Amino acid sequence: MEQTQNKNILLSVENLRVYFPIYGGVFIKKVGEVKAVDGVSFSIKEGETLGLVGESGCGKSTIGKSIVRLVEPTQGKILFRKKEGQTVDLVGLNRKEMRPYRADIQMIFQDPYSSLNPRFTIGRIIEEPLEIHCPEMKKEERHARVKMLLNKVGLNEEQAARYPHEFSGGQRQRVGIARALSTHPKLIIADEPVSALDVSIQAQVINLLQDLQKEFGLTILFVAHNLAVVEHISSRIVVMYLGNIVEIGQSQEIYHHPKHPYSRALLSAVPLPDPDLKDQKKKMILKGEIPSPLAKPSGCAFRTRCPIAKPECAQSIPPLDDTGQGHLVACPYWKEMV
């Protein structure tokens, strides 16, 4: 179903829920469910980079996979603008109907080795999406684009005949980036693209993504657990905890003035290279362990570890309130943080 949407918004996620059923017992019955994503809403403007950050298990990667339908949403809408003023709800599409949009929405995976077919050469890996989504392209045109993309990501065309195992982790991730760019996508979903790489290589890959974004006019959803990495590349940041959004705002604002207790805890865990600044930095140690997704606390999921939690926090999930200039916080008591 096509709908009208703000012309600056490329993707809009509305009340997205992704639940995974748990089966057990002698008769293999449903005994529960994991609420990986529990009512998440956000939008991405065309040309921007939106950072999605949180601890492992918070549901951020599930959101990325839901957008490309590698994971089926349980409820909600994923509205994608295919042309001026018109959008399509990706959730309502079957596999055949979804296929044209896979060229516009490409994904860069966390593990640069397991996401590449070890039996294919690098050139074949990058060319395959063109064969599927651009059947009108001639063989010579496909080969020319493969060579161009290899050069754009810092590799040379002679390496097209090599196999994934002949490359380092950073080089393999560059191949993954080239493959994602092959179909001229509008949106790139980068699912922790640097977490499996050495720190020295992480900066190179992030800078490469920024350069490619400017050159090709890309829109990026950048998923990561490191708030410092997300702050460097993103224009806005969404902070998640156990399937819910707890804070949204401009990257500089959240990085320097986080308002939600969980965001402050995440930021306090970011290491600083300057010993003097490290000694001055106030550490925020959270109490307890992360609750199991099988038994999420009622109300605010963070209340069991929150230093300013009140009995009222157990009543309902707090809404995102605007504290000014588009900075949204899901905590009515954020002003009590020292």
Is residue 248 packed enough to be buried (19+ CB in 10 Å), middle (13-18) or exposed (0-12)? buried
| Residue 145 contacts residue 122 (beta carbons within 8 Å) | no
CA torsion sign for 172, 174, 177, 178 is negative
* pLDDT value for 2: 46
Alpha-helical segments (H) within 234-294: 251-256, 261-268, 275-280
Q: Is residue 59 part of a domain?
A: yes
- When divided into structural domains, the chain yields a total of 1
Domain that holds residue 245: 2-104+185-336
Are the CB atoms for 130 and 145 separated by under 8 Å? yes
Render pLDDT for 279-338 as a digit per residue (tens, 0 to 9): 555 677 777 788 887 888 899 999 999 988 899 999 988 999 998 888 999 999 988 876
Is 116 among the domain residues? Answer: no
Domain at 295, CATH number: 3.40.50.300
| Domain assignment of residue 133, yes or no | no
Is there a domain that residue 303 lies in?
A: yes
Q: Is residue 308 part of a domain?
A: yes
From CA 144, how far away is CA 94, in angstroms rounded?
A: 33
Indicate the range of 131-140, 258-267, 272-281, 311-320 predicted with least confidence: 272-281
Tens digit of each residue's pLDDT (9 = 90 or more) over 150-199: 999 999 989 999 999 999 989 999 999 999 999 999 999 999 998 878 88
| Closest residue by Cα to residue 336 from 313, 316, 309 | 309
pTM value is 0.91
Burial class (CB in 10 A: 0-12, 13-18, 19+), 230: buried
Say if strands 86-89 and 75-83 run parallel, antiparallel, or are unpaired. Answer: antiparallel
Average pLDDT, the chain: 89
Q: What's the rounded Cα separation, in Å, for the pair 255 and 258? A: 6
Distance CA 111, CA 176 (A): 10
Q: CA nearest 91: which of 23, 32, 30, 3?
A: 3
- Does residue 127 sit in helix, strand or coil? helix
Beta bridge partners of 322: 328
Q: Identity (one letter) of the amino acid at 233?
A: I
Provide mean pLDDT across the span 29-45: 91
Mean pLDDT of 7-24: 92
Q: Show Cβ contacts of residue 6 under 8 Å, excluding neighbours closer than 6 positions.
A: 43
pLDDT digits (tens, 9 = 90+) for 208-246: 999 999 999 999 999 998 888 888 899 999 999 999 999
